[in-house]
Chains A and B, each alone.
Chain A
Amino acid sequence: MAIEGADLVKAAAFLGAGLAMGLGAIGPGVGEGITAAKACEAIGRNPKEAGLLTRTMLVGQAVSESTGIYSLVIALLLLFVV
């Protein structure tokens, strides 16, 4: 089969979108898990501060989530805009 330039570009964009979101999901997944693990540990040590600790955990996770969202944005750009 003859592959045209436009087809090749689209193919690379689709594969790139999959790789971007797939690889981009590793870091936030592991990092947010470690954050939550430490929050659980801290609540175990100091149960009275459970509210404060859960709030801090969520803020920290939200920041850690940002790279996952960048991946999602780039994947969507590759799929629908480029």
Chain B
Amino acid sequence: MNLLRLLWESTSITVEGLAALVALLVFGALILALTLRARLVRPFTVRPLAAAERVRGVLGRAMETGEPLHVALGIGGLGDVSTADTLAGLALVSFLADRGALAEVPVRVRLAQPTALVGALATLQRGAEGAGYPEAYDPVQAAFVAPVPLAYAAGTAEALRSEPPVANAMVGAFGAEVLLPAQAGGDQPQTVQVGGTSDPSVLPLLLVTTDSLLAGEEIYALGAALGRADHTGSLAAQDLARALLVLAIVLGAVLALVIA
């Protein structure tokens, strides 16, 4: 008891820190509640994402022809500032690994961070096991190309040229170097290209080079749009929180105007 009190007394927090922590806790509670509702009652309906539909369609084609699907996971890793983007890309890998193992569609993942490699390998293995074909998992499906962004981009572009996939999805953290794989994929007439990243400065580059684009926050909805029922809860929480934020911003602006 004394120890706890000591702990409590030696702890301090700034006002902004407290506000942020409270906001985070509220948001967390919201996510938990809505996820439970999605799991126990029924999943929330998700607005169809053009890119997700595209991926589904291409997957069907790949199942018929046995041609490979390619995911460029970007230059981000797990455990750094790009974790969320990388996880969004991994949600796509998970979907493809699961369906791909069923129909023996080769799924190739290329990435630039060793931490992302760990995640990708685990996701591919889980997908193959979940589909009932653990032997479909092959540790070279995910390839660590290079830790330097441009080297990664050049290596990925080369791979897209020498083994053209039916679909090239570039979802994750990217910089301007994404243009190299995007152009290489675009040069292949049968390759459908899907792009997605959260960096606003990279979006225009993807817009002009891909067939379908996930702009900004849409990449975090990819898991839900591809049928992950447990992701719909947090997506709904996100929407709710954004609505509240927008309301707060509008109220603040009006108040500022009135006071001025």
The yes or no verdict on A and B being binding partners is: no
- Chain A positions within 8 Å of B, measured between CB atoms, are none
